[in-house]
Each structure stands twice: as structure tokens, then as C-alpha cells.
Amino acid sequence: MILRELDPFIPYLLAFHIVSFTAWMAGLFYLPRLYVYHCQVAPGSLESARFKVMERRLLKQITTPAMIATWIAGILLILAGLANWHALWWWTKFISVILMTGFHGACSKWRKDFLGDTNTRPEKFYRIANEVPTILFVIIVFSVVA
């Protein structure tokens, strides 16, 4: 189903999609780094409380709204007919975005662990996890541009 009524808005939808995706990535680049730093402080300390506030604000006020906006704009672009269902690049991008959404969900779960002072993962885990959005970001951008 292609909605031709969206044709005049395609440039704006594309711009909105890129801007919201950029904000989403910024949040996912920084959130695991906050977890690395959070591992370095004692649970229940003032520093830990400060990290909890930072993590909540980043996730709830920036990263999650940006993810939702990215998905909405992407779905509207699909409805406008910009999906190429037969192209490998499109499926590569789509699967990578699904994986990025799963990573976002994992970050949310990890935040809840820190919130309850029940995190058992070491700092190194979050250092490695911090690379996941970068790898997916590169795959998404190259699949679309190249």
C-alpha cells in the first residue's frame, strides 16, 4: 500500500527520520558509557544516585522519544513507497534497526538493574556493549548510502 498523499512530505519525513535517528544514536552511544562509569562507584552512594538521574533522563527524555520518532518516520516513509522490498540494502537496514531496538531494550533493562542497585555485570561488559550501536550504525548508514 502506497499513500500518494505523503508525496509532498517525503523530504520532510526523510529529514525528520535522519534527525531522530541521529538523536537516538547519540543516546545509545552515551548510555552504555554512563554504565561504565556507574560501575566505578559504590551502590547507594551520592555518585550512584547522580548516575541514576543522568541515565533516566538520557533514556526517558532523549533516547526513547528519538527511537519512537525514528520508527514513526520510517513507517511513514514505507507507506510513502520508499521501501524497496527486493533490495538487499533495505533488508540489511531493517534487520539492523530491529537489532538496534533490541539493544535499546537491553539498555533499558540494564538501567533498571542499576536503579535497584542489583547490577552484577562488570565494567568490561559495558565497554564491549558500548561498541554494539557503533557497529549497527555503520551497517545502517552504509547499507543506505552505498
Q: Pick the residue with more confidence: 58 or 81? A: 58
CA distance 84 to 66: 24
pLDDT 10s digits, 29-60: 999 999 999 999 999 999 999 999 999 999 99
CB-based contacts of 47, cutoff 8 Å, min separation 6: 41
For the chain, the domain total comes to: 1
> Model pTM?
0.94
Contacts (Cβ under 8 Å, ≥6 apart) of 132: 32, 103
Q: Which amino acid is at 57?
A: R
Average pLDDT over every residue of 124-130: 97
Q: Residue 120 is part of which domain span?
A: 4-145
Query: Residue 7, Cβ neighbours under 10 Å: how many?
Result: 11
Distance CA 135, CA 23 (A): 16
